[in-house]
Structure 1
C-alpha cells in the first residue's frame, strides 16, 4: 500500500482584524481543505497545494500573522479513510448545491421558452448564468481530490444545461429573424476536463 502524504496548515491570526481569519477560512474553502480541529487544516500533499499554502502563509505573515506548514502521514488506515470521507462529504455538499442550481437554470430557460421570451437580452442573461455554472463546476472539480459520488452527475447536468441553452439560442435567432450561426458556440469545451 502506498503511503499517502498530507499537508497540515496551522495558521495563526492576530485577534484583530477578524477579517484576516475570515480571509484564511475562505482560502482554505477554495482549496478544498478540511478543518481537522480549530485552526488545523489538512489537504493531500501536492506541489500546487504546497505552493498555494506557502503563498497564503506569506500573505498572512505580511499582515501580522504567522503559522506552520507541515507534512504528515496517517498511521492507521481507518483514520485516513475517515478523513478522506470528510473530503468526499464536503464535495457532496458542493455537488448537491450545484445540481440544484442546474435545475433552476433549466427551469428558467423552460419558463422563458413557454412564455416565448426569445430576446437577445434573455439569451445574454442565460449565457452568463451558464458560464457561471461552468466556472463553478471547474472549481468544484479542482478541489474534489477523492472523486465525490456526484461528480459525473454534475458534469452530465452541465452538459444538459449546455444543450438546452443551445436549443434556446437557436430559437432566439429564429424568432429574431436570423439564421442561427452554423458554428454556434455555447462553451464548446467539455466540462469533464479535469
Structure 2
C-alpha cells in the first residue's frame, strides 16, 4: 500500500484588514481542510483541491501575504492515521451537531402531535427544516474524505426525522376538513 498524499498549505496574511484572513480561513474550512497549526493546513491531494488551493494562494498574495503549497505524505502509518483521525474528528463534530438538531426537530414535531397542532403552515415549516438537514448532511458528506464514524449515525437519524415528519404530515392531512370522508352523500342536483 502506497502512502496517502496530501496538499499542505502554509500561509501568512497581514493582521489588518482581518476580513481577508477570515475569508481565506472560511474558504479552507469549507473545503474540509484541517489545521495542523495556525496558518498550516492539509487537504487530501486531488485535482479539485489543488486547483482551489491555487486560487486561494493567489488570494493570499493579493492580500500582501505569503503562501507555500506543497504535496506531502506521512512518514509512516501512524502519521497517516493521526492525520485521518483529525479529518474524521472534524466531520464527527459536524455530524454530532446535525444529529442534535435532528433530535430537537423530532421532539418539536412530537410535541406538535401531542397537542394536536395539525396545520399546513406548521407542516410547511417542518418540511423546510427537514430540507435544510438533507442539504446539510450532503455538505458534510462531501468533506467526509475518510468515512468518519458518526456518518452512519447521522444518516440513520435523518431517516428517523423523515419518518417523524411523514407521520406528522399524515396527521395534518387527516385533520383537515376537506380531507375527511363525508358521512352524508352529496346532493347530485
The structure whose Rg is larger is 2
Residue 4 (structure 2) pairs with residue 7 (structure 1): no
Question: How many matched pairs?
Answer: 180
SS at 1:118's partner residue? coil
Distance 2:159 2:98 in 1: 13
Distance 1:79 1:122 in 2: 50
Deviations 1:89-131, CA, capped at 9 Å, x for gaps:
1112111111111100100110111111111111111111111
SS at 1:71's partner residue? strand
Q: How far 1:75 sits from its partner (Å)?
A: 1.8
In the superposition, the TM-score normalised over structure 2's length comes to 0.87
In the superposition, the TM-score normalised over structure 1's length comes to 0.85
Residues 8 and 173 from structure 1, CA distance in 2 versus in 1: closer, same or farther, beyond 3 angstroms?
same
Q: Quote the residue 1:47 is aligned against.
A: 47
Residues 61 and 175 from structure 1, CA distance in 2 versus in 1: closer, same or farther, beyond 3 angstroms?
farther
Q: How far 1:35 sits from its partner (Å)?
A: 0.6
Mapping of 1:156-167 within 5 angstroms?
A: 156-167=156-167
Q: Which runs of 5+ in 2 are unaligned?
A: 180-189
Q: How far 1:7 sits from its partner (Å)?
A: 0.3
Q: Quote the residue 1:192 is aligned against.
A: none
Q: Quote the residue 1:19 is aligned against.
A: 19
Mapping of 1:50-129 within 5 angstroms?
A: 50-129=50-129
Q: Which runs of 5+ in 1 are unaligned?
A: 180-194
Residues 178 and 145 from structure 1, CA distance in 2 versus in 1: closer, same or farther, beyond 3 angstroms?
farther
Distance 1:58 1:115 in 2: 57
Coordinate RMSD, CA, aligned: 1.8
